Amino acid sequence: MPIKLLTAKQMSEADRVSIEQLGIPGRVLMENAGRDVVETLARRFPALGRERIGVVCGKGNNGGDGFVVARHLLMRGIRPRVVLLADPTELQGDARANYELLLKWGLQPFVARNELEWAAARIEILPVTLLIDALLGTGLDRPVAGFFAKIIADITTTLAHAKIVAVDMPSGMPSDTGAPLGPALKACCTVTFTAPKPSQIFPPNSENVGELVIVSIGTPPSAYSKETANFLNLLCPEDVAPFLAPRPADSHKGSYGHVLVVGGSRGKSGAAAMTGMAGLSALRAGAGLVTVATAQSAQSDVAAASPALMTEALPESSEGSISPQAFDRGRFAAVARAKAVIAIGPGISAHPQTAEFVRKVVQEFSSTPMVIDADGLNAFAGAPELLDGKGRTLVLTPHPGEMARLTGLSVSEIQLRRVDVARDFAMKHHVYLVLKGYRTLIAEPTGQVYVNPTGNPGMSTAGTGDVLTGMIAALLGQHPDVSVEKVVSAAVYWHGAAGDGAAARKGELSLIATDLIDALPEAAEMIRGQIE
């Protein structure tokens, strides 16, 4: 199942439920947290014993986690230098208990209650090569100021040589989304507990996180899974692997759906090639059969994309794009008959007659699952009410510019409120909406939103969206009885993973869309391997 993303308030409530209602002692959760941080350190730094380790602790539970980290390092024969940035008398509860336990182990932290004491403590930890940040943790909702702002600034400058591993959250960083609040530490790795927090996933704050490691410290899913406001989910390999499993020996091409891709035009440079790319990616993603219906004069160009594609020529406008005349005498109905999925939009052109054709296809073929992309979406600019997915499967795959045209918002507004915009549109129009970009979102009509962690900036190039359209259509055709959000999420994750694999070989700068298609088999193997 996808991993829930929890806001600071939701995480606090999950801890409360675990302790007060489920009877899990807070000290057990803190012990598990500190132990898991040390186990992560041991995996990430094979020569951990040769590192000079420092631990900076605040007075709250995050500092308590830091005391546990220091004790478990001692248990491994590693003696860290620990700084408590508070008066020990201010410690309470589990944090105080673990501070006192650390003293019994013979480790006396340096205490820095003000800038003068910090200046002395800083000298003691200056030689460290690995710094454990257990200063502030989650729940921050205002900029760090005063003494702690000074601490963060000093660590950033004078300890720039040290690798920083954050306990739950880099200090100074808010748990929830939004602009950075103020100064914050930048970690090479963050070990977070129970569930990722929104700011660890979404920019701009996520840039401070480094590698994100999620560990379970004993908070059961029942403590937070029923929270009605909990609608954010992070995709993981386990969500995708079932769609990439080996096929039964007695299967045949009829078992895996016949996809119809509708698009392409003569008048738009590269449009036919993009349509062919969508068809080819559908084949590479496992569709049994793929037919590409395109403007008559573009048919030969589409067919050149692959001999495995079937093509159909449709009547065209004076500018070489598909015309509404394609509906004359049932021509398009015959082409669309018995198709498992229709994908419409790649390279199709924004010609007014073609936009009319798109709207008619969407209206008249409501019984066939449909994916709409590119100029297929632009056909509904100013008229989003015509996109009604109630009682049908309708998947939209806009980039921010197309989303802006659908909603009437600016691109900057879309980017600032990506989750809310995608979720509101999906719920209002009963559609499955894939808002492309960094951390592509999949919003479903129920209001659940899935965040894709795969992909890279090299995918910001022509044609990668057409590849995704073909992949979504292919998986929908192969899995008609599986919930749509699972199928679409799997396609998006696989698409991003292929982009990551292609970037590793070609580099982000040189990545082109066909590299993604070529990388799909390797990405599928990689995803399956991650859960074995």
Query: Which pLDDT value is given to residue 266?
Result: 81
User: 174, 209, 229: which is the final residue of a domain?
Assistant: 229
Range of the domain at 103: 3-229
The answer to whether position 486 is within a domain reads yes
Together in a domain, 219 and 263: no
Assign residue 399 the CATH number of its domain: 3.40.1190.20
The answer to whether position 14 is within a domain reads yes
The answer to whether position 245 is within a domain reads no
Residue 35 has pLDDT above 70, yes or no: yes
Report, as an integer, the average pLDDT of 130-141.
Answer: 91
Model confidence band, residue 228 (pLDDT cutoffs 50, 70, 90): low
- 3-class SS at 455? coil
Together in a domain, 392 and 444: yes
Assign residue 111 the CATH number of its domain: 3.40.50.10260
The answer to whether position 488 is within a domain reads yes
User: Are 260 and 59 within 8 A, CB to CB?
Assistant: no
Model confidence band, residue 227 (pLDDT cutoffs 50, 70, 90): low
Together in a domain, 281 and 219: no
The answer to whether position 368 is within a domain reads yes
Lowest mean pLDDT among 99-103, 314-318, 363-367: 314-318
Q: What is the DSSP string of 64-88?
A: HHHHHHHHHHHHTT---EEEE-S-G
302 residue type, one letter: V
Closest CA to 166 of 126, 206, 198: 206
Together in a domain, 211 and 283: no
Tens of pLDDT, residue by residue over 54-102, are 999 999 999 999 999 999 999 999 999 999 999 999 999 999 999 999 9
CB atoms within 10 A of CB 353: 16
Together in a domain, 217 and 71: yes
The DSSP bridge partners found for residue 82 are: 55
Domain count, the chain: 2
53 residue type, one letter: I
d(Cα 259, Cα 251) in Å, to the nearest integer? 17
Asked if the bond preceding 196 is cis, omega within 30° of 0, the reply is: no
d(Cα 453, Cα 206) in Å, to the nearest integer? 12
The answer to whether position 87 is within a domain reads yes
Task: Answer with the residue of higher pLDDT: 143 or 407.
Answer: 407
The answer to whether position 332 is within a domain reads yes
Residue 142 has pLDDT above 90, yes or no: no
Together in a domain, 221 and 268: no
The answer to whether position 246 is within a domain reads no
Residue 494 has pLDDT above 70, yes or no: yes
- pLDDT, mean over the chain: 93
Report, as an integer, the average pLDDT of 306-331.
Answer: 91
Together in a domain, 181 and 70: yes
Together in a domain, 476 and 434: yes
User: 213, 229, 245: which is the final residue of a domain?
Assistant: 229
Residue 268 has pLDDT above 70, yes or no: no
Residue 429 has pLDDT above 60, yes or no: yes
Model confidence band, residue 329 (pLDDT cutoffs 50, 70, 90): confident
Together in a domain, 372 and 518: yes
Residue 13 has pLDDT above 80, yes or no: yes
Q: What is the DSSP string of 434-463?
A: EE-STT-EEE-TTS-EEE-----GGG-STT
d(Cα 182, Cα 477) in Å, to the nearest integer? 48
Query: Which pLDDT value is given to residue 140?
Result: 81
